[in-house]
Amino acid sequence: MLENIATALAILFEPMRLLALFAGMLAGMVFGMLPGLGGVAAVSILLPFIYLMDSYSGLAMLLGAISVIYTADTITSVLLGAPGSPASAPTAIEGHALAKQGKASLALGVGFLASMVGGLFGALILSVAIPIAGPLVLALGTPELFMFALVGLCFAASMVGKDIVVGLAAACFGILLGVVGAAPAAANYRFIFGQSYLMDGLSLPIVALGLFAVAELIGMVASGGGIAGKPMTMGKWGESFREFWRSRWLIVRASIIGIFGGFVPAVGASASTWIAYGHAMSSTKDKRRFGKGEIRGVAGAEGANNATVISDLVPTMLFSVPGGPAAAIFLGALFSFGFYPGPRMVSETPDLMYMIVWSVALASVMGAILCFAVTPYLARLTRINFALIAAPLLLIMVAGAYQGTQTFGDILALLVLGVIGWLMKNAGWPRAPVLVGFVLATPMEQYFWLTTQIHGFTWLTRPGVLIIASLIVVPMLLGLVRKWRARQAATPTDSAGPASHTASDDEAPRDTAILLLASSLLLVTFAYAFYEMLGFRSNARLMPALGIVPGLLLSLFILGRQLFRLRRQGRIVHLGSRQELPVLAGILAYGVAMWLIGFNLATPLLLAWLLLKCAGMRLVSAALYGAIVYATALGMFALMRLTPPPGSWLTLPMPW
Amino acid sequence: MFTQPPVLKSLSAALLVAVGGLAANHSMAEDFYEGKTIQMVVPFGEGGATYVAAKFLEPFLEKHLPGNPRVDVQTRPGGGSILGANWFAQNAEPDGETILFTTSSTSNPYVLGMDAVEYDLAAMRPAYSLPFGAVIYVSPRTGIDSPAGLKEPDMPLIYGGIAAAASDLPTLLAFELLDLDIQTVLGFDGRGPARLAFERGETNIDFQFTPAYMSQVVDMVQAGSAVPIMTGGSVGEDGVLSARDTAFPDYPSVHEVYEELYGEAPSGVEWDAFQSIGAVTFNYGLTAYLPEGTPDEILEIFEQTIAAINDDPEYQERSVDAVGGYSLLPASEVTESLSEALQPSDEVREHLRTLLSEEYDVEL
């Protein structure tokens, strides 16, 4: 075995292969940093290129990309507050809040190091795939997979924030988004409005981009300044190393959670990240800073998500069942090179297996080092007027969304979700629960029906189910006990507790009009969904009902409360939100223009508006910068081998 | 759907061949694709079985097509392959430079007449097919060691599948045809997760397509944890899905199993339904379609190219592991039988729709 480990290292240390690994890492870093474009985008863009190389180089290139995505996306999440990939939403919440307090380098440093540890744990579990990981994967039956998804949702529920009603309503809305498309247990299509686009359901990158990135982008363009209120100071990494060392056991536990996330097909990184985040919260005594910049939240989430993408490779290599979307593409690459994954492949070609382990380990470490190196330069970007960065960012988001199905439905979904995200942001409603509900609705429903069909009700007594269930029950009981003790010990001083809510943004009064609009829309949506749901077959109705029925009641309560407050407090006008309206309108107009005259003609108009009007550039420099951005965007489409969205009315054919 | 009556179609085809034969000289075909790029549209995501097969065939097509074009595999996923096929129907020109490479996921919704379908698959011109056989196997715990045992298992049979209207359809139709008592559990993510459930003992009857069977199930059979029972079969000389799968000559086809169980050849609407869906899923499992109205000259080019690829020793060697060692079927062996399978009689179509909506609760 030791011999194989050494041979594998020698295989990888061919100059060509190291170069391929490095190229993959660079691509992975870029795509990790671009908001919303996660591992799937990076790997599918690299895929055509690997056929030009020998098998080990090609695989090394993909592994390089897979291993650094969740390290690099920390940068976007922390600096922009828009998750670099869906599984880094907790980092976007905690890390960005820290960045706003001038602690960006702390959040980034801990994030990079935790990602690195997660990656190394992933590599470790891969190297013991046959003796340890394989039996573990087979031990997880359908009931255990269901329980894993359920635990994810329960942990997520613990971070709905201060206003529990709104948080739960948001999670219900997420479930509603998640059940769009084909029902797993009955051949029923739900909420597709006759559109074949919706038959597969909404795609996770588009939901994450729309809810988070579009809204952040609008806010930043409207506020006119840089991303950071004050210049971010970078380069003092010492504190982050100390904090990393303080949280080392949390990171180890988060990585182990992440590894299990990789064993569970479909639940994957998005769920394990939230479970690890929830674990970070339940294992931290002072929970007040969660949601307002808690470094342990970053440490937990980043440790988990990187471990998950790597351990996604375990079921891929052992059973040729990909653990996640990026692993699915990696599986296709293995097939194409004539490797047929299975226990036989792992035991008969140990060189390949250890080459993969080495690639992952090396890329994890080098990726973290690279991230440390480039961050000071990227941080400078945050002082530039955001309208300048918004232009390329918006085009990248459009390209990323359009990669989904290459139909206008992708753009439309992005914009609609963008408006929803904007409304929620300006109403002060948490968006993370929407994402969690969305991600976990499908696997929960699927595994629930499979479980009850296969096992009847005997599954409730399975040891695995009981062990996982204790993960929910034990912290809940401990929390209750702790609360009870605290109440007994400190009844008089409790009310005088430190109410130092630093993040003033969350507490600011919200615009009444937006709150009313958002609550009414929510109510109408749930009411319509309820009506539509009555027509579903019973097997297709349970999961939507779990989201829609409470959602309907909660949204009714929210609207009522809103009207009551309106009578008591009168109208509140929040100028910040109103200032963002023209930007929102501009972006929607861009969508309409794209539909009418296509990407190629609509984009120059958008650039002119963003650069001249919003950023106030001079004509000459705007033309020059605009041309560069335009060319880059078209280059991006060419790289992804996509034709930019054509117009329905008129299309500018490109001369090349 | 507007399809030409078959007589008119073959008449015009014959005329075209005659005229083409006079007009086209050999050199025209020789460099037909020179400097051109063929866009191979795969309506599934990167890394899936269809994508892998398309990438496997890519270098052979580039090598053997006259003029050595570049073949560019492009994915257009969505709507369970319907979006990509719709795009192809609306955008592809009949110039031989755009090909739709797809599976029964595209043809089943077409045969069933689903609303979302905007393509007329039967009017398109198949250029070649790659068979995609499948083996049905059981767990030894069931006590079944031969097809006859399917009728009296030691324990209730549980089958794990994806969705009734998807690639599970022919297997479910086979169970229906053989009148087996099997509990069907649908909702798995793919054949891989369904196989994992089999390995965990949650289900006890399963099927896998040839490539996955070779790499995963063969080992299980050797270890005694899986027992192969039958294959979907392949279309024989007589155009009936009765012959044995060429990759598994030792295992009987569904047709043979029926004969063994009931002492006569299967017939009637249940057999016709299985044959129609089974032929498209297994025998013409992966089919390359050219747009409606593609000239015969281009099809003739593919006919010769496919023959050349089948003769290529490298193809013969590499295809064993990659795609189960099947030879490619040229258009001449595909067109007629596939066209029949894609346009079953109204009775068969009605049977399928009734079965799906009543037994499996499918909304059509």
Q: What is the pLDDT of residue B190?
A: 82
Residue B1 lies inside a defined structural domain of this protein: no
Q: Which residue of B has its CA nearest to A136?
A: B200
Domain closes at, from B279, B295, B327:
B279
> Which residues in chain B touch residue A331, judged by CB atoms under 8 angstroms apart?
47
State how far the Cα of A371 lies from the Cα of A76, in Å rounded to an integer: 11
> Positive or negative, the Cα torsion across B215, B221, B222, B223?
positive
Q: What is the pLDDT of residue A225?
A: 63
Nearest to B52 among A44, A335, A406 (CB): A335
Report the CATH number that the domain containing residue B151 is assigned in CATH. 3.40.190.10
Asked if residue B166 and residue B70 are part of one domain, the reply reads no
State how far the Cα of A554 lies from the Cα of A559, in Å rounded to an integer: 9
Over range A308-328, report the average pLDDT.
85
Q: Which of A157-161, A166-170, B111-115 has the lowest mean pLDDT?
A: A157-161
Instruction: Inspect the interface and report whether the beta carbons of A332 and B46 lie closer than 8 Å.
Output: yes
Q: What is the pLDDT of residues B231-289, one digit of tens each?
A: 999 998 888 999 999 999 999 999 999 999 999 999 999 999 999 999 999 999 999 99
Q: Count how many domains chain A has.
A: 1
What distance in Å separates residue A406's CA from the closest CA in chain B?
Answer: 7
- The encoded tokens of residue A593 equal 């223009």
Q: What is the pLDDT of residue A159?
A: 64
Residue B358 lies inside a defined structural domain of this protein: no
Residue B66 DSSP one-character state: T
Q: What is the pLDDT of residue A208?
A: 81
Residue A149 lies inside a defined structural domain of this protein: yes
**CB neighbours of A389 closer than 8 A, spacing ≥ 6?**
A227, A381
Residue B297 lies inside a defined structural domain of this protein: yes
Residue A624 lies inside a defined structural domain of this protein: no
Instruction: Inspect the interface and report whether the beta carbons of A333 and B47 lie closer than 8 Å.
Output: yes
Asked if residue B229 and residue B102 are part of one domain, the reply reads no
Using CB atoms and an 8 Å cut-off, which of residues 402-431 of chain A contact chain B?
404-407
- The encoded tokens of residue A8 equal 């594998």
Q: Give the position of tokens 């009411």.
A: A527
State how far the Cα of B206 lies from the Cα of B135, in Å rounded to an integer: 8
Asked if residue B273 and residue B143 are part of one domain, the reply reads yes
ipTM of the predicted structure?
0.81
**CB neighbours of B169 closer than 8 A, spacing ≥ 6?**
B104, B108, B277, B281
Cβ burial A199-209 (10 Å sphere, 16+ → b, else e): bbbbbbbbbbb
pLDDT over 70 for what percent of chain A? 91
Per-residue pLDDT at A82 exceeds 90: no
Nearest to B200 among A44, A141, A406 (CB): A141
**CB neighbours of A127 closer than 8 A, spacing ≥ 6?**
A353, A354, A357
Nearest to B82 among A196, A404, A537 (CB): A196
Q: Cβ–Cβ contacts within 10 Å for residue A571, how many?
A: 9
- The encoded tokens of residue A230 equal 């004050």
**CB neighbours of A124 closer than 8 A, spacing ≥ 6?**
none
Residue A444 lies inside a defined structural domain of this protein: yes
What distance in Å separates residue B106's CA from the closest CA in chain A?
Answer: 13
Task: Considering only residues A121 and A133, tell me which one the structure prediction assigns the higher pLDDT.
Answer: A121
Task: Considering only residues B203 and A492, tell me which one the structure prediction assigns the higher pLDDT.
Answer: B203
State how far the Cα of B244 lies from the Cα of B255, in Å rounded to an integer: 9
Using CB atoms and an 8 Å cut-off, which of residues 441-500 of chain A contact chain B?
446, 449-450, 453-455
What are the C-alpha distances in Å from A33 to residues A79, A84, A218, A349, A372?
10, 5, 19, 34, 13
Q: What is the pLDDT of residue B27?
A: 47
DSSP string computed for A21-36: HHHHHHHHHHHHHSTT
Count CA within 13 A, CB hemisphere, residue A33: 18
> Which residues in chain B touch residue A464, judged by CB atoms under 8 angstroms apart?
none
The answer to whether the CB of A67 falls within 8 A of the CB of A364 is yes
Domain closes at, from B261, B279, B297:
B279
State how far the Cα of B337 lies from the Cα of B126, in Å rounded to an integer: 11
* Helix ranges, chain B (H): 6-23, 26-30, 49-64, 82-91, 104-112, 169-178, 191-199, 210-212, 218-222, 254-262, 268-278, 296-311, 313-323, 331-342, 346-359
Over range A188-212, report the average pLDDT.
84
Residue A108 lies inside a defined structural domain of this protein: yes
Residue B159 lies inside a defined structural domain of this protein: yes
Asked if residue B197 and residue B256 are part of one domain, the reply reads yes
Residue A538 lies inside a defined structural domain of this protein: no
Residue B363 lies inside a defined structural domain of this protein: no
Residue A14 DSSP one-character state: S
Cβ burial B58-71 (10 Å sphere, 16+ → b, else e): bebbeebbbeebeb
> Which residues in chain B touch residue A186, judged by CB atoms under 8 angstroms apart?
361
Q: Which residues of chain B have pLDDT under 50?
A: 1-27
Quick one: which of A386, A410, A370 has its CA closest to A33?
A: A370
Structural domain of residue B148, as residue ranges?
134-279
A495 confidence band (pLDDT: 50, 70, 90): very low
Residue A18 lies inside a defined structural domain of this protein: yes
Q: What is the pLDDT of residue A494?
A: 41
Residue A612 lies inside a defined structural domain of this protein: no
Using CB atoms and an 8 Å cut-off, which of residues 169-198 of chain B contact chain A?
183, 185-190, 192-193, 195-197
Q: What is the pLDDT of residue A220?
A: 79
Q: Please name the amino acid found at residue A373.
A: A
> Which residues in chain B touch residue A343, judged by CB atoms under 8 angstroms apart?
219
Q: What is the pLDDT of residue B214?
A: 84
Asked if residue B118 and residue B32 are part of one domain, the reply reads yes
Q: Please name the amino acid found at residue A67.
A: S
Instruction: Inspect the interface and report whether the beta carbons of A47 and B46 lie closer than 8 Å.
Output: yes
Q: Name the burial class of residue B255, with classes exposed (0-12), middle (13-18) and buried (19+) by CB atoms within 10 angstroms of its CB.
A: buried
Q: Is A568 on the interface with B (CB under 8 A)?
A: no
> Which residues in chain A touch residue B361, judged by CB atoms under 8 angstroms apart?
186-188, 537, 539
Backbone phi and psi for residue B138, each to the nearest 5 degrees, phi listed first: -125, 170
> Which residues in chain B touch residue A265, judged by CB atoms under 8 angstroms apart?
189, 193
Nearest to A329 among B46, B56, B215 (CB): B46
Asked if residue B58 and residue B29 are part of one domain, the reply reads yes
Q: Is A338 on the interface with B (CB under 8 A)?
A: yes
State how far the Cα of A169 lies from the Cα of A431, in Å rounded to an integer: 10
State how far the Cα of B50 lies from the Cα of A246, in Å rounded to an integer: 49
Nearest to B79 among A186, A199, A336 (CB): A199
Task: Considering only residues A598 and A48, tell me which one the structure prediction assigns the higher pLDDT.
Answer: A598
Tally the residues of chain A: 656
DSSP string computed for B191-235: HHHHHHHHHTTS-SEEEEEHHHIIIIIHHHHHTTS-EEEEE--B-
Q: Count how many domains chain B has.
A: 2
What is the enclosing helix (H) or strand (E) of B137?
Answer: strand B134-138
Q: What is the pLDDT of residue B62?
A: 94
- Helix, strand, coil percentages (3-state) for chain A, rounded to 5, are 75, 0, 25
Quick one: which of B54, B79, B281 has its CA closest to A201?
A: B79
State how far the Cα of A590 lies from the Cα of A469, in Å rounded to an integer: 48
Task: Considering only residues A386 and B245, tell me which one the structure prediction assigns the higher pLDDT.
Answer: B245
DSSP string computed for A383-418: TS-HHHHHHHHHHHHHHHHHTTTSSHHHHHHHHHHH
- The encoded tokens of residue B211 equal 């490539």
Task: Considering only residues A436 and B5, tell me which one the structure prediction assigns the higher pLDDT.
Answer: A436
The pTM for the full model equals 0.83
Backbone phi and psi for residue B124, each to the nearest 5 degrees, phi listed first: -75, 165
Q: Which of A189-198, A521-530, B290-299 has the lowest mean pLDDT?
A: A189-198
Residue B182 DSSP one-character state: E
What is the enclosing helix (H) or strand (E) of A151?
Answer: helix A142-157
Quick one: which of B163, B209, B153, B170 has its CA closest to B184?
A: B163
Q: What is the pLDDT of residue A187?
A: 67
Strands B182-186 and B329-330: unpaired
A226 confidence band (pLDDT: 50, 70, 90): low
Which strands sit side by side in the sheet containing B182-186, from one edge to the other?
Answer: B182-186, B157-161, B205-209, B134-138, B227-231
Q: What is the pLDDT of residue A509?
A: 66
Q: Which of A59-73, A212-226, A427-441, A572-586 has the lowest mean pLDDT?
A: A212-226
State how far the Cα of B28 lies from the Cα of B23, in Å rounded to an integer: 10
Instruction: Inspect the interface and report whether the beta carbons of A329 and B197 lie closer than 8 Å.
Output: no
Asked if residue B219 and residue B122 are part of one domain, the reply reads no
DSSP string computed for A426-450: HHT--SHHHHHHHHHHHHHHHHHHH
Q: What is the pLDDT of residue A38?
A: 67
Q: What is the pLDDT of residue A492?
A: 47
What's the per-residue H, E or C state across A108-140?
A: HHHHHHHHHHHHHHHHHHHHCHHHHHHHHHHHC
State how far the Cα of A526 lies from the Cα of A530, in Å rounded to an integer: 6
State how far the Cα of A327 lies from the Cα of A348, in Å rounded to an integer: 21
The answer to whether the CB of A156 falls within 8 A of the CB of A280 is no
Residue B364 lies inside a defined structural domain of this protein: no
What is the enclosing helix (H) or strand (E) of B126?
Answer: strand B125-130
> Which residues in chain B touch residue A329, judged by CB atoms under 8 angstroms apart?
45-47
Per-residue pLDDT at A502 exceeds 50: no
Residue B90 lies inside a defined structural domain of this protein: yes
Over range A477-488, report the average pLDDT.
76
Asked if residue B260 and residue B169 are part of one domain, the reply reads yes
Q: Which residues pair with B286 in a beta bridge?
A: B130
Report the CATH number that the domain containing residue B332 is assigned in CATH. 3.40.190.150
- The encoded tokens of residue B107 equal 């043809």
A512 confidence band (pLDDT: 50, 70, 90): confident
Task: Considering only residues B144 and A161, tell me which one the structure prediction assigns the higher pLDDT.
Answer: B144
Give the CA dihedral A260, A264, A265, A269, nearest 10 degrees: -40
Residue B339 DSSP one-character state: H
State how far the Cα of B179 lies from the Cα of B274, in Å rounded to an integer: 13
Residue B362 lies inside a defined structural domain of this protein: no
Structural domain of residue A87, as residue ranges?
2-384+431-482
Quick one: which of B44, B322, B323 has its CA closest to B190?
A: B44
Q: What is the pLDDT of residue B188?
A: 86
Q: What is the pLDDT of residue A61?
A: 94
Q: Which of A71-75, A383-387, B39-43, B138-142 has the lowest mean pLDDT?
A: A383-387
The answer to whether the CB of A199 falls within 8 A of the CB of A182 is yes
Q: Which residues pair with A181 in a beta bridge?
A: A190
